[in-house]
Every structure is written in C-alpha cells, then in structure tokens.
Structure 1
C-alpha cells in the first residue's frame, strides 16, 4: 500500500476558517465571485500565507478580469504549499486557460501525486493528454478512471476510444465487448447506446473483421438497438461488398433508391461491380444509363456518366443535360460542367451545343435548327437569358474577356435586375485584370438585394482584391469586423485582407492576418474531447481527431504559411523593412474610427460576460477565454522579431510532412533552410521539388542560388555534411556546366513560357549581367508566341521595379495594349482615379442599399 503523507501543519485551518474555505469552494463553483473574494479575504486576514486560499483567491480574480493579479497570487500560493493538490489543480486551470497545455498537464500530474483518485483532475488530465496526443498516458488515465467508477458507462467507452487512438484496436474491441456484456435493461431508442454500437461496428470494420461486424449490425438492427436507419444501410452495403457477398448489389441499390443523388452510393455500387469512374468504362456507362432511366429525377447518374463517356457517347448524353439545365434556369450549371473542360474535345462539344441553343432560344430566332431538335418547344422567356449567362461564364473561364463581356451585356440588356449577371461581369473583369471595375460590378449586384449575405460577402472580397480595405470593412457591417471574423476564423476574410495588405506593401498588417489563420481552430478541439464522449458521438469524434492531425495541410494554412515565410525571409534579407514599417503612419482616419468602434465593442462584450448567468456545477471550471488586450494592433512587433528565420521555419515545419506534393512549400522550405545554413535541409527541399517538377521556373532560380551560396562559403563544410552537400549539388547542377550556360539553356527550352523567361532574367540579374541584357530577356515575355497573362505580367512589373529599370513604363504600355480590358497597367494617376471611382461607388451604397 502507498504511504499516506501527513497533512502539513501550515495547511490545517481552525474550524471557522476551514468552514469558510469550504464555502469559498462552493461560491467559486456557483460563480458567486464577489462573495468568494470576500470569503477568501476573511481567511487571509488571519492566515496570509495559506497557499490553498491564495490560489483560490487568484482563481476568482482571474474570472473577475484581474488576470495578472490573479496569476501572481496563484503562483505565490503554489510556492507556499507545494504538496497541495488544490494548489496544483488551480495552477493547472490557469495554465489551461492560457492555452499552455503542456505546462497545465505537468501541474495536473503534480496534483495527482498528492490525490491519485481525484475524478475532476483525472478527467482534465485525460483531455490534455488527448490534446497533446499522449495516447500511452491517456490509456493509463482512462484505466484509472474506470477502476474508480466502473459503473459509469462513459468511462468504458472512453477507455475503448483511448485504446483506439493509441493504435491498439484489439484492446478497444475487448473493452467494448466487456462493456456490452455488463449492460442491463437498456431502454428502447437509446441514442447513446445506438452510437456506441455503430462505433463497435466501425472498429470491427477497421480491424478487417467484416463477418463479425455484419453479424453485430444485423442483430442490433433487428432488435432496433441501432436507431440510425441510414447508417445501418450504409454499413450493411459496405460490409457485404468487402465480404464479396451476392447481396451487396441489392444493398447498394436500396441505398441509391433511398437517395438517388448521392455520388458515394453510385461509386459504391460500381466499385462492388469491379468498376471505376476514374477512366472510360463501357460497363460503368451502361449501368449509369440504366439508373438514369429508372430514376428520371436523379441528376447524379447523368452527371457521373459525363465523366466517363467517350466523344460520341458524350455528345448524346451532355446535350439533354445541358438543355434541361438551361430550360430550368439552373444558375450553377456551368460550375457543375466546367470540371469536364480538362478534356478539350468535351469542352468543344459543350460550346457547340450551347452556341446552337443560343441561336435557337433567341427571341429573334424564327425556327429551331436541326442541332437542337431535342429542345423543348414550350420555352420560358428566361431560357435565353440563362443560355447567355452560361456562355459568358464559359468564355470568361477560357480567358476570352471580350467575348464574355459582349455576351453578358446582351444578358444585362435582357434582364438588368438579375444579380448573377453583374457578379459574372465582375468575375470576368477580375480575371481580365480590372479589379476596380470588378468591385463596382459586384457592388451593383449587391445593391439589387441588400439582404443577401452571399452578395455582401462577395462584394467585400472584391473590394479587398482591389486594395480597398476600409470599404470592405464597411460592407461587412459588423461592430468590429476584424475581431469578429478573426474570432470566427473566417478564412476568406483573413486570407483576402492579408493579401490586400501585402499588395499595399503593409507587411506588418499582412503578417498579423496571416498568423491569425487557425489560431483558434486547433485550440477549439479541446472542448470536444469531453463533449463527444459525453454525447457518445464516437465515430464523428475519431474523424475530428484525424482531421485536426492534418489541419496544417488545409489550403488556407498552406497559403498563409508560405506568404508569412516570404515576409520573414524578406525581413532577414533586409532588416530595414521593420524600421520603415514602424516609422510609417499606419492608420488612416477610417481605420482609426473602426479601431475606436472595435474597442467599444470589446468593452461591451466584457460587460456581457460579467452579466452572464452562473455556470452549472458540472461545467468545466477552467479559466474562460476572455478577449485579451492586443498590445500589437499594427503588427509592428511581429516584424521586429530578432530571429525571423526561426519563425518562418516553425510555420513551414508542418508542410514538410503534410504538403509533400506542393512544390511551392518545398521552395519556401529551401529559402529558409539555406539562410539558416541548414544545407542538408536545403538539399532535401530541392530534391523533393525537383521530383515534383524538374522544369519549374522557381526551382531554376533556387538551383543557381544554391550553387552560389555553397561557393560563397569562406571554407568547406565539415564532414560528413560537406561531402554530402557537394555530391548532391553535383547531381542537381553539374559542376562542368557554367551558370551562364545553364541559364541560357533553360531560356531556350522555355522561351514561350513567361514565368520561365522571368526566372531566366532573375538568374541573369543575380549573375550580375548588364541591366540592358536583363531587360532584353524580360521583354521576351511580350513575344507573339508567349503565353503571357495578367498575373505573369504583374510579376514582370514587380521585377522591373525591383531592379529600377528605365523601361518599366514601356513594358506597362505594351501590356496595356495587349490586355485591352485590364486596368492594372494604367499610369498611376489613372489608377488613382479608378480607385476613387470604386470608393465613390461604396459611398453611394450607404444611401441606396436597402436595410439589411
């Protein structure tokens, strides 16, 4: 037996004070904070060094908004009584509230040394272990909880989940089976029991025990222990397929009849037949046609058939699909179809059919052409309108802005009050390089329906794309749009505003928004470790944990991490950027007004929190997250970090494991590694990038840079790193090839690719070629056979600006002529006028827009 330690004399309170301390605990539990503070002061008058009371007073103060004072008291209380589980528990609560999970777990571990069977501490420790993915320790903690309270079924299930997360599926199965044998008198339609059974079946399926899983499913489906009928059908069909049973086909058919527009059911049926939708298959096409005939209202079979149909079959299938969508007026028809455009022949067929339909549906048409004989005769007046809308999107998507704009103007002349038409015109102008015109068009769409949140959001997005950040904030129309949308992790807002600041050269504000991406999402999962176990939604919980493990592979994080790392690299290369940002005026008048408004809103939120009703006794009493004071609203401190490369490396680290197919991630990893003198990391990044695309323009720049960096070292790298780096460099860029020759060969191979030409110009500049020679290379992007587009041309403009080329305006004028619709290459004065026009448009909306 473990030896029970005697209670320290300094912790023992007289009867009166001991009663007050118990009352203090109750007052905290019921959130009577003012009374709790008075009670703690009563005890501390006589016993000012009573550690547990000091800790409880500190905890009360933190909940009253006196955060720093409360934390200091808690730390003092812990120092005064290092063997009190209450002190360590309170300290853990404080650290957990600060989101210092590792430190909080250490505090809970200390608390458990002195109170090994405290249920509250054990439950909190288990949640922290799950958050930190310490699954071995989690299993041990769940075992302890089950041993203390074996009658609580939540503890049985939690132990099974812990084994599952730890990779021990056999133990998870044993735990569930033992738990189910102990159950008695389970009420009918018990949702929690039903979810547990579904989890058990999922576990058996994951173990490959398909027969056992199917038997368990059938038994509990017949007894109606499993309530979710759709889940029963899905599990049954999937398990029968994996067992190779003849009943599987019928099971999948039942599912398809239950929901004929579910793509997964159709894929499951075809997979059971040994067929796939990844390639052309006559058998799969026949089956999908049968379903289309049997289920005439179903769209999914007809749409999937388009993916695998060959040219002749495709024409026969896509024609009624398109004509049906146009006559019904389906706005999303083009979005549905455009995935087929990866096949040029299919794209051409779609264009021919819709152009023919346009001629037939036109009000000026006298008789239908033979090509559209299958078209309905009783057409709605809007059919012609939706055909024009489809064609406008079609031309815009294929980079034909003039044709798209001509078509959309016809549609607007037909029906000027349809918001989708204005939004389509805005999208066309955006792609063609006119962000200000695009912003005005989407604002016109918004004015047609001021209560449409989608249009309001789209308008704000386009204003951000045009660099009109203040106007976008006004459209979002929140009390404090920045704080609200950041708290809600609105990825569209965070990314677009960060990009807008980046384009406006406000790197401090851009960095602040980039770093806000997923700040909250990872922490938000903490509450679900307990919530899902209480609600027994176990399958969903396991999906959540797996998703959180891959959170940093989300496209929004990848983009934010890459952009933020580029800012950090720029800071390392030119530290004066931080000084320039701190000395420049940061806030406009509108921004100052918005900031003041946001501050008032934050104060109101704090007041509402204080007025909130008391929490229930069973609620987690951890430190609630209050709105912390932002001591760096302009992001100046973020730019002034001493080690920007370390911050960049930390951001990019998850991408090396989660975004291995992203060449931009490897190039960014190289940029940071080579500057940190981590040459082996740099070699690995270059090799991975080369394996993905050995002709990538940016890789060409990095290979030259790497040889220059190695050659510029004052002395050779020590063994074993030196020989490895030398050998790797020889494979990447052979020593016998001079850099000038290598650059010329790349330019010759890719003379019609503007980004490759730009890369060659950058390399020539790095090799100290004459400025005139660099400019001649750059102007090669304007050749007739060059595939120059607006984004590539803007990159060329940025490069010419950076090298202070005198031919910058010449290039701008050439691009202005080449891209007729674009405005981004206009002179600065004209651009300023376009910007003001967009701003005027926003001012007009304040009067004209209907109340939301």
Structure 2
C-alpha cells in the first residue's frame, strides 16, 4: 500500500494544509478499503490542485479497485507524467502492474520508486517478492540486506536474508546469517514452532554443505532442549546424518525406528538398506542375497505391512523370486485387492518374472476352477468364490497388458457371468476394448458400469472420459453435468474453472480427432492458462511463508514451481496444440475449412441452448447480488468475455508458429528427456528458419535415441531445408549446423542409400519401416515404390501394432493412394476387435448406434443425484 508522502517534497508537490490533511486521509481511506469516500477525497483535492500527480495516481488506483481499470490506468499514467520523482506515483503504477501479473514491468516501477525513497519498507518488501517470483536472486540478496539494515530487530528480516542466500546458491553465507541470527535470540520459549522451523532449516543447510557432524550436533542439542518440536523430522534428519557419518549401528537403530513408525514408507527402507551399503537402484549379485535377507527379516517383524515384501520382489531373481511372489500374489487375490496388478506390473520389464507370474496365477485359476465345480462336501479347504473372481480379474489385466485382448475378454466374460454386479469387471473390459481399438464398445461398457452405482463419481468420470475418447463430446457433457454446478453456463465451464486437467486434455483430444481444431486449441490453451495461474499463485507465498516461518516447505515449493511445466498434462497440451499449429501453417486450406460454420447435431443444439440460458441466469444473479457499498473488486483481472467460443481466432491467426514456440519454450528450457518434445521443437524451429535451434533439437534427439524413427525423418528434412540456404547463414550458425548435419548424416553416401541402410537395420519394426516410407516420399520416390514399402508393414515378420497401423492409414491418405482400401481391409482382418479400420459408413453407424445409452435410467439417476 502506498506510504505517506515524505517530508521535503518538491514545490510542485506541495499542498495547502487543508488538502495535505485530506491527502493523508485519502491514504488511510485506501488502506481501509473505503473506496467511495477515498474517491470523494481525491476529487476534493483535485478541484483545487488538478495537476497534483500523487492525488491523480491515488484516484486512479481507487478506480482500478472499483473495476474501472482503463479510466484508472489513464489517471495513473497522467499522474506519473506530472510528477516523475514521486515514489508514491511509481509505487501505485507498480501495484497496478503487479495486479495484472506483469511482474517484470512492476519490478521496474518499484525500482524507480526506490530511487526516490531508498528506505521505504513497503516498497522494498514488494520488490523482494517480485525478485523472487522472477528468480532474480542476486538482486534479492541486495534487497534483503537493505531490509535487515533498516530493521535488524525483526526476526523475519534475518530469515529472509538467509533464504535469499540459499536461493542464490550461497550456502556458506546462509549458514553465517543463521548463526548470527541465533546469537541474537534471548528467552526463546519451549515448543516455539517458528524457532523450530528455523533450526530445522539450519540443519538442512549444514547437511547440504556436507557438514554432517555439526548438523547432527545442532539437531541433537535442540531436540533435547525441545527447541525442535517436529519429532518425525528429527528422526529423519538424524537417520540420514548418522548414515552419512558412517555410524552404522546408530543409523540402523534410527532407520528401524522410522520403519516401525511408518512401515509403508518406501524411502525408509531405501535409507535402511543404503546404510548397509545396498543401493536399490543398482543391486549387484554380491549384495542381492543380503538385501533379501534384510527385507524378509523386516517383513517378519511387521507382517501387516507389505512394503518390504514388495521391494523384495524387485530385488529377487530366479528361485528367490518364485519363493517371494507366490505368497504375495496369493494374499492379494484372497483379500480381493483390485490394485494388485497395478502394484506388480512394473516387474514385467523382466520377461522371466512376467512368465513366473503368469504361470503361477494360471495354475491358481486352474485349481480354483476345479474347486468351483466341486461340491462343498468334497473338500474342506475350498477357497471363497471371490478368490476365483479376483484371479480372473488379475489375469484379464495381465493379458491385456500383453496385447492379448481376445484372451482377456474371454476371462472377463467368465468373471462377469460369475458376478455380474461388480463394476471393476466392466471397467476392465472397457479398458481392454479401448486398447483393442474399439472406443465405442468401451464407452458402452463404461456406461453399464456406472449404472451399477449411479452416485459413484469415479465411475461417472470414467464414463465421461471414455465417451470423449469415442468422440462423443455432447454425450460426455451430459454425464459431467451430473456432478458440476447447476448454475454454471455448462459443465465444461465449471470444470475449467476447477482446473480439471483430465477434462481439458481429454476434450481437447476429442475435438482434434473430430476435426474441430479451433475447439481443440481452446482446450489446450485452457491447460496452459491453468499452469500460468499455478505459477502466479506462488507469488503470495513469498511473503506469507517468511511471516509464518514455514521455510523448508517453502523452499520445496520454489523448487517444485521451477519444474511445474514438466507435468504430463502441460506436455500433452503443448504438443497437441503445436501439432495443430504446424498443420495450419503447412496447409492454409485447413483454416478456411475450420472457419466454415459447422452443422450441429440435435444434442449439440440442445446443449448450446441450455448453456446460453444458464449463462444469462448467472449474469442476472450476479447483478442481483452485487453490493452497492464500497466492495473492493481488487486488482485481479476480471475474466474477459469469451469472444471466440469456437476458437476461430486461434485457427485463423497469422502467428501459428510463434504460438507453438511459446508453448514449447518452457519444455525446451527444462531439457526434458522426451523425444516427442524435441521432435516437435525441431519442426517449429525449422519452419521459423531458426536453424541453430533446429540443430540443437536434433543433437538432443540423437543423444536420447540415435536410431529413433522421428530422428531419421528429421535428418532428411534438415538436409533438404538447409541445402539451399547454407551460404546465407551467419558464419557461426553455419559452422554449427554444418557440423551437426555431418555428424548425423555421413557425407560420402546419398540420401537414398542412407534411408536404405536404415531400413535394413530395422526391417522388422513397423515404426521404422513407416519412417523409411515417409523419407522415400520426401526424396521423390515413385508412388508405387512408396506404397510397396508401406505395405511391407503387413509382412508376418513385422510386429505391426494398432498405433502403427493407424499411422500408416493416415500416411496412405496423405499419399492419395489408390491402394488405401486394400491396406484398410488387410488391417481390419489383422485387428478384428478394432473399429479404426472400418469404412466411413461403418464408423458412422457405430457412432450412431454403437452407443445409445439408457436415457430413462440416466434421467432417473440424475433425479436421485439431485435429491
């Protein structure tokens, strides 16, 4: 909040005594959010002093809080022009820019304000928060130093300086500040939470400095004196420090105490084994037996916890694995644990372990099926029927993960006939059909599952998700509307407000598959908006965490925020939107087709009409509820009216590649090990004629996988794009890209030979063969030759999967091939469960009739939910 004007002000800023008192009152009225009265006070001053810059700025700030942003901003700018040396004017301008999330410009305004009032505490604190938000840690240290010099008696200023040094990577300085701070403390009461957090932070700093003895001494002394009150943190720090110091006996005791306190925490077992010089990430044959012995001992001591048994499965091999897996699987199946397969499927990376699991569970199913058919009197040890049921369920998931979908469906049909009212069986069958390429059948089965328990939000959510996967957007909206706000403009609007990343990504994909590129871009950019808000939300914690002394968790937050764009949802949305932008750039005719008015279905018309009515009702309710008093509307941006509901502006814009680059930039800066990220980044850079960025992307791709088909295609694209422009590049760029290309593509062979050699090395891989076909087309090979190469995907020795078959079908469409029907028919026979390779008329029939839903049941269920 703007401070009172300082003494010794310039003549042009001088007010008469009455107006000066009124200006002080204006500041107080703003601070207490009496906006109406503040506006009147400002008007009274401006009647006599119409060019008083500080009053103009204050009035503009008040108007901004009252929702009159444009008028307020104009007044603030005018006030600054009239008084360029007023810290109040610059501070007000910084407040407005900060409220608009324009942090860089806000910091510039605060810097200007500090030129004219270097010791203003409010401005310094706000500037520190902005520097932290922008990760300007060098400047942050200077600002925190200034604050400490001004108010050394405030504990917060000491800790803030220590945190600033820590964020800047200067741990020695952090340690010195903390030691100096602790010397100033007197009469600290027991169980002081804030002091406890500071001491734990001190221990953390010493541990990161590898000063383990000093850290352990500080921890023990303050734990005994009850200065540190978080007992779990004490135990965790102590166990780690003892292990680092090599005091294995004491460390073992500390880790055992932690395991007994929380026997399901995998990190504690990892620490316990690490204390015994056993690294679970790099188990050797020498220490494997010892690790198994320790884990079995811990399992016997705490039989109710499964963590030790599960870790043992990762460590064990051969006979030890067989011995360990049988009781683990038996216990899970007898208890009916639905997540048992999800728990152990990571073991399938080892083919021998996979076979052991399959053989054991199949034997168990065979034995149980015999027990099922026997009479109760024939055996005294018959397993309960549920064991057989969950065995079938497990095996269905097992075979589905191996792409043996027919076998999985047989087992599920048997399980459903055994217990038709178990939703997990229907959801599993839906998942199998989805993987087999039948999204319509999957959506129908998921609908049957949700009808078994109409008030289960999980089942309804899964049903909506599967409808979106089948392209049934309007039908999915009906299900989502069962649990969203009834006064929202639409279910999608409410879910977007709630930042549902699942909904946004799935609906974006559904629109893209349906050819509605504008709507898909809208959803993908909505995901980007969510992550922008997540980054903005951290701003409030820069000051809050220091005031509340929640230092350690705050530092974890800052580290997490730096990596937040690596979230799978953002990666998915950024890549999806970038692919669409590349398509629009490569084929401008798509823009015209997307801009043409779409023919809405009856369901879509009904949903649109309903959404319009709901939006009108929301506006009417807002008008009725709006207060007439001095409510502070705040500096938060008012949600603008959506003037592009179909996403046509996103489609028709001229800056497609720039938008894609902006979405991908955070992923590139994080240097993710994601091949698709670097492949799409290359595509965008090449089309923007940024050859240096394109070469860097190719180098990263080669580092990740030198034989990846996406890299093979882009090597040829880079060569063809670079050949006519090499001489026009700057010398430094020319040298780098030429060197990169020579490393990727031998100069002594032709492109055709390079492609042929690549095909020979990967003659049994569908993705690599398809990449060679695409390269052949780019090199101008005859269409018949390209078609023959693509048809080699159907050879028996080629492992053609559903995804590769779909990609090949798209490639045939790009070729305008006359043999597309031949390929489609062959794939339809190869993948009998999939509907992807059906004819357009068959697909239309499946879409219209394959999923009809039970409208009467749905309406009845909706009434039950509402009641």
TM-score normalised to structure 1 length: 0.93
State how far apart, in whole Å, the 2-side matches of 1:257 and 1:249 are. Answer: 12
Could you list the per-position Cα deviations for residues 253-279 of structure 1 after superposition, in whole angstroms to 9, with x for gaps in the alignment?
111111111110000000000012233
1:592 counterpart (608, 616, 625): 608
Could you list the per-position Cα deviations for residues 141-169 of structure 1 after superposition, in whole angstroms to 9, with x for gaps in the alignment?
11222222222211111111011111111
1:157 counterpart (156, 159, 162): 159
State how far apart, in whole Å, the 2-side matches of 1:658 and 1:262 are. Answer: 29
Contact 2:759–2:769 (Cα < 8 Å) also in 1? yes
Contact 2:431–2:442 (Cα < 8 Å) also in 1? yes
State how far apart, in whole Å, the 1-side matches of 2:801 and 2:624 are. Answer: 52
Structure 1 position 836, deviation (Å): 2.5
2:143 counterpart (141, 160, 164): 141
Question: Alpha carbons of 1:611 and 1:229: their partners in 2 closer, same or farther (altered >3 Å)?
Answer: farther
Structure 1 residue aligned with 2:645: 633
- Is 1:512 equivalent to 2:528 in the alignment? no
Structure 1 position 463, deviation (Å): 1.7
- Is 1:560 equivalent to 2:555 in the alignment? no
- Is 1:277 equivalent to 2:252 in the alignment? no
Contact 2:437–2:836 (Cα < 8 Å) also in 1? yes
State how far apart, in whole Å, the 1-side matches of 2:557 and 2:190 are. Answer: 29
2:703 counterpart (666, 682, 691): 691
**1:783-798 alignment runs, 5 A limit:** 783-798=795-810
Structure 2 residue aligned with 1:764: 776
State how far apart, in whole Å, the 1-side matches of 2:238 and 2:505 are. Answer: 43
State how far apart, in whole Å, the 2-side matches of 1:731 and 1:209 are. Answer: 45
Structure 1 position 217, deviation (Å): 0.7
Structure 1 residue aligned with 2:757: 745
2:38 counterpart (36, 39, 47): 36
**SS state at 1:292 partner:** helix
Contact 2:496–2:504 (Cα < 8 Å) also in 1? yes
> Relative to structure 2, which stretch is displaced further, 291-300 or 440-449?
440-449
Contact 1:659–1:665 (Cα < 8 Å) also in 2? no
**SS state at 1:520 partner:** helix
Contact 1:360–1:367 (Cα < 8 Å) also in 2? no
Q: CA RMSD in A?
A: 2.7
**1:330-369 alignment runs, 5 A limit:** 330-362=337-369, 364-365=371-372
Structure 2 residue aligned with 1:127: 129
Contact 1:465–1:500 (Cα < 8 Å) also in 2? yes
Structure 1 position 306, deviation (Å): 0.3
Question: Alpha carbons of 1:806 and 1:349: their partners in 2 closer, same or farther (altered >3 Å)?
Answer: same
Could you list the per-position Cα deviations for residues 594-621 of structure 1 after superposition, in whole angstroms to 9, with x for gaps in the alignment?
65367447647966995599899xxxx9
State how far apart, in whole Å, the 2-side matches of 1:348 and 1:731 are. Answer: 42
State how far apart, in whole Å, the 1-side matches of 2:330 and 2:174 are. Answer: 54
**SS state at 1:260 partner:** coil
State how far apart, in whole Å, the 1-side matches of 2:380 and 2:612 are. Answer: 60
Structure 2 residue aligned with 1:372: none
Contact 1:471–1:842 (Cα < 8 Å) also in 2? no
Question: Alpha carbons of 1:47 and 1:602: their partners in 2 closer, same or farther (altered >3 Å)?
Answer: farther
**1:530-679 alignment runs, 5 A limit:** 530-585=543-598, 588-590=604-606, 592-593=608-609, 595-596=611-612, 599-600=615-616, 603=619, 623-679=635-691
Structure 1 position 241, deviation (Å): 0.4
State how far apart, in whole Å, the 2-side matches of 1:590 and 1:106 are. Answer: 51
Question: Alpha carbons of 1:333 and 1:92: their partners in 2 closer, same or farther (altered >3 Å)?
Answer: same
Contact 2:440–2:851 (Cα < 8 Å) also in 1? no
**SS state at 2:280 partner:** coil
> Relative to structure 2, which stretch is displaced further, 596-605 or 807-816?
596-605
Contact 2:193–2:229 (Cα < 8 Å) also in 1? yes
**1:292-311 alignment runs, 5 A limit:** 292-311=299-318
Structure 1 residue aligned with 2:3: none
Question: Alpha carbons of 1:684 and 1:825: their partners in 2 closer, same or farther (altered >3 Å)?
Answer: same
State how far apart, in whole Å, the 1-side matches of 2:117 and 2:626 are. Answer: 33
State how far apart, in whole Å, the 1-side matches of 2:136 and 2:631 are. Answer: 30
State how far apart, in whole Å, the 2-side matches of 1:456 and 1:31 are. Answer: 45
State how far apart, in whole Å, the 2-side matches of 1:590 and 1:19 are. Answer: 61
State how far apart, in whole Å, the 2-side matches of 1:786 and 1:485 are. Answer: 44
Question: Alpha carbons of 1:460 and 1:16: their partners in 2 closer, same or farther (altered >3 Å)?
Answer: farther
| Aligned length, in residue pairs | 839
Question: Alpha carbons of 1:37 and 1:263: their partners in 2 closer, same or farther (altered >3 Å)?
Answer: same
Contact 1:306–1:314 (Cα < 8 Å) also in 2? yes
> Relative to structure 2, which stretch is displaced further, 232-241 or 706-715?
706-715
Structure 1 position 798, deviation (Å): 1.3
- Is 1:501 equivalent to 2:511 in the alignment? yes
1:180 counterpart (176, 182, 193): 182
State how far apart, in whole Å, the 2-side matches of 1:120 and 1:615 are. Answer: 24
Structure 2 residue aligned with 1:371: none
- Is 1:486 equivalent to 2:502 in the alignment? no
> Relative to structure 2, which stretch is displaced further, 14-23 or 77-86?
14-23
State how far apart, in whole Å, the 2-side matches of 1:714 and 1:582 are. Answer: 38
State how far apart, in whole Å, the 2-side matches of 1:450 and 1:548 are. Answer: 38
> Relative to structure 2, which stretch is displaced further, 702-711 or 634-643?
634-643
Structure 1 position 251, deviation (Å): 0.8
Contact 1:389–1:421 (Cα < 8 Å) also in 2? yes
Q: Note the residue ranges of structure 2 that are not aligned, 5 or more in a row.
A: 1-5
State how far apart, in whole Å, the 1-side matches of 2:235 and 2:830 are. Answer: 59
Question: Alpha carbons of 1:713 and 1:731: their partners in 2 closer, same or farther (altered >3 Å)?
Answer: same
> Relative to structure 2, which stretch is displaced further, 587-596 or 8-17?
587-596
Q: Note the residue ranges of structure 1 that are not aligned, 5 or more in a row.
A: 369-374
Structure 1 residue aligned with 2:820: 808
Structure 1 position 764, deviation (Å): 1.7
State how far apart, in whole Å, the 1-side matches of 2:191 and 2:627 are. Answer: 39
Contact 1:261–1:298 (Cα < 8 Å) also in 2? yes
Could you list the per-position Cα deviations for residues 651-673 of structure 1 after superposition, in whole angstroms to 9, with x for gaps in the alignment?
33333342342222222222122
Contact 1:329–1:383 (Cα < 8 Å) also in 2? yes
Structure 2 residue aligned with 1:383: 387
> Relative to structure 2, which stretch is displaced further, 414-423 or 7-16?
7-16
Structure 1 position 405, deviation (Å): 1.1
Structure 1 residue aligned with 2:436: 432
Structure 1 position 191, deviation (Å): 1.4
State how far apart, in whole Å, the 1-side matches of 2:570 and 2:628 are. Answer: 34
State how far apart, in whole Å, the 2-side matches of 1:497 and 1:598 are. Answer: 21
Question: Alpha carbons of 1:107 and 1:220: their partners in 2 closer, same or farther (altered >3 Å)?
Answer: same
